[in-house]
């Protein structure tokens, strides 16, 4: 099956192919660009710790951190490491595991066909032995320790642990020293066979490419897979938070904080709509021209690090404000009061249009970046939407939509404050 997806607003388009192997393929031929970005990704991340396939009697429960561990191991095969192969073709290759996806990617300005062959080949050739697993335990153990020592990482995960009772999003993506010690080659193969089935994956290619050339390579290298009917399950997550405040003291240059609301999760197009409304709410709360921002800035309470983030996925959704401050309680009080003001006074049409235009311009700019386009197509598949739905929904967003989101989701009783304080700051 082959279809052309396009944006009536920007004129951008891409090709979507449901390949006979089961893989969804997205290709954006970007004439006039010299670079190429390709992403081969699985719908598999750190939150997927419990699953079963069609025909399985029971659910398989795996150690936390195994998705990230598997990503590391796929970069090795029986002959050499994949980085060595890319170095010979001049490509820059890497991989990343997040909460709900694992992506393998490369960028290059030449030899894209050869690089695409490398990508498709090694991701479909798992090679796990007890010896290689034991070796990787030490490497990932060091990585876990490094992230534990990173205050920005810890302030976020401290917040997630206070926000979620049971959802595995509160667990570090790399797992813990104790959890990864339980990983075996057999478990890695079980996870690979379940999640790296091509029916659960996507290939996204953008830049100076020809669709026919990409598809010819796919025909040669993709191995047909039977859809195993993968079923995921998550523990029941209450609407409430665990607790509203958590603080640690560390030797940091400045105290940092994350202030996050636990919102109701959504999926598909509903989550995309919610993401856009949440982003607009974040813009309003961190707007440098707002009275709250300017007051806090004059008082020396915040600085330019005060920003927002919308954090969402399978079974979780949050709006977070991050920054540096020595007065986190005052920031929290100010933000809560600003939310109340927005609810009572409504959303300024002028401010709304300003942010809407800015967000629209940002999306248009991303359409002129090869890496962004490849990731846009990949993320759209993961989220069950079209690559151009975001820009279409943004234009249809209204001030009332944003007001409704703030009123229904940014509740004070769902708000968590996480702080990493400087050692010399008084409690």
Mean pLDDT of 389-403: 97
pLDDT value, residue 409: 98
- Looking at the predicted structure, is the pLDDT value of residue 131 above 80? yes
pLDDT value, residue 77: 66
Mean pLDDT of 84-94: 93
What is the band of 7 on the pLDDT scale with cuts at 50, 70, 90?
A: very high
| Helix H or strand E segment including 401 | helix 399-409
Specify which residues 188 forms β-bridges with. Answer: none
Closest CA to 99 of 144, 128, 64: 64
For the chain, the average pLDDT equals 95
pLDDT tens, position by position, 367-385: 999 999 999 999 999 999 9
Closest CA to 225 of 254, 203, 197: 197
- Looking at the predicted structure, is the pLDDT value of residue 427 above 50? no
From CA 219, how far away is CA 213, in angstroms rounded? 10
pLDDT value, residue 78: 61
Neighbours of 413 (CB within 10 A): 10
Using alpha carbons only, how large is the chain's radius of gyration in Å? 23
Mean pLDDT of 145-172: 95
| CATH 3.30.830.10 residue window(s) in the chain | 2-232, 245-422
The 3-state secondary structure of 197-263 reads: CHHHEEEEEEECCCHHHHHHHHHHHCCCCCCCCCEECCCCCCCCCCCCEEEEEECCCCCEEEEEEEC
The tokens for 184 are: 């075996």
**Half-sphere exposure for 315 (CA within 13 Å, toward CB):** 21
pLDDT tens, position by position, 349-358: 999 999 999 9
Mean pLDDT of 185-194: 97
pLDDT tens, position by position, 308-341: 999 999 999 999 999 999 999 999 999 999 999 9
Catalytic pick from 29, 37, 64, 71?
71
How is residue 288 annotated by DSSP?
A: T
Mean pLDDT of 260-280: 98
Mean pLDDT of 154-179: 96
What is the band of 425 on the pLDDT scale with cuts at 50, 70, 90?
A: very low
How is residue 171 annotated by DSSP?
A: S
- Looking at the predicted structure, is the pLDDT value of residue 426 above 60? no
Mean pLDDT of 61-81: 87
Looking at domain 245-422, its CATH class is alpha beta
- Looking at the predicted structure, is the pLDDT value of residue 84 above 70? yes
| CATH number corresponding to 2-232 | 3.30.830.10
Is 71 noted as a catalytic residue in this protein?
yes
String of b and e for 106-116 (b: at least 16 CB within 10 Å)?
Answer: bbbeebbebbb
Cα-flanking dihedrals φ and ψ of residue 218, to 5°?
-65, -40
């Amino acid at each position: 099956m082959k279809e052309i997806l396009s944006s009536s607003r920007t004129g951008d388009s891409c090709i979507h192919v449901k390949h006979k192997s089961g893989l969804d393929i997205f290709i954006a031929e970007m004439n006039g660009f010299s670079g190429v970005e390709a992403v081969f990704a699985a719908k598999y991340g750190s939150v997927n710790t419990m699953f079963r396939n069609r025909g399985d009697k029971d659910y398989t429960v795996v150690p936390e951190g195994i998705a990230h561990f598997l990503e590391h191991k796929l970069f090795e095969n029986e002959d050499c490491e994949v980085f060595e192969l890319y170095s010979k073709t001049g490509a820059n290759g890497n991989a990343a595991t997040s909460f709900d996806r694992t992506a393998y990617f490369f960028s290059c300005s030449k030899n894209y066909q050869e690089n695409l062959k490398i990508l498709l080949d090694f991701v479909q050739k798992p090679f796990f032995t007890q010896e290689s697993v034991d070796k990787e335990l030490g490497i990932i153990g060091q990585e876990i320790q490094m992230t534990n020592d990173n205050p920005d990482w810890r302030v976020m995960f401290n917040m997630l642990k206070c926000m979620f009772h049971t959802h595995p999003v509160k667990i570090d993506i790399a797992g813990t020293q104790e959890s990864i010690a339980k990983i075996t080659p057999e478990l890695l193969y079980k996870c690979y066979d379940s999640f790296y089935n091509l029916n659960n994956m996507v290939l996204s290619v953008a830049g100076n490419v020809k669709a026919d050339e990409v598809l010819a390579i796919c025909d040669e290298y993709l191995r047909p897979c039977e859809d195993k009917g993968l079923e995921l399950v998550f523990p029941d997550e209450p609407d409430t938070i665990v607790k509203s405040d958590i603080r640690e003291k560390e030797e940091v240059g400045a105290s940092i904080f994350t202030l996050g609301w636990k919102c109701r999760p959504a999926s598909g197009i509903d989550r995309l709509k919610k993401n856009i409304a949440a982003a607009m709410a974040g813009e309003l709360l961190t707007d440098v021209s707002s009275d709250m921002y300017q007051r806090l800035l004059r008082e020396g309470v915040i600085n330019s690090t005060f920003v927002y983030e919308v954090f969402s996925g399978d079974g979780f959704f949050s709006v977070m404000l991050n920054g540096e401050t020595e007065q986190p309680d005052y920031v929290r009080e100010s933000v809560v009061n600003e939310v109340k003001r927005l609810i009572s006074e409504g959303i300024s049409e002028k401010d709304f249009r300003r942010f809407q235009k800015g967000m629209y311009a940002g999306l248009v700019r991303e359409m002129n970046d090869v890496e962004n386009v490849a990731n846009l197509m990949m993320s759209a598949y993961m989220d069950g939407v079209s690559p151009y739905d975001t820009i279409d929904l943004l234009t249809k967003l209204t001030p009332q939509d944003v007001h409704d989101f703030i009123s229904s989701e940014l509740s004070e009783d769902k708000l968590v404050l996480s702080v990493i304080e400087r050692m010399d700051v008084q409690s």
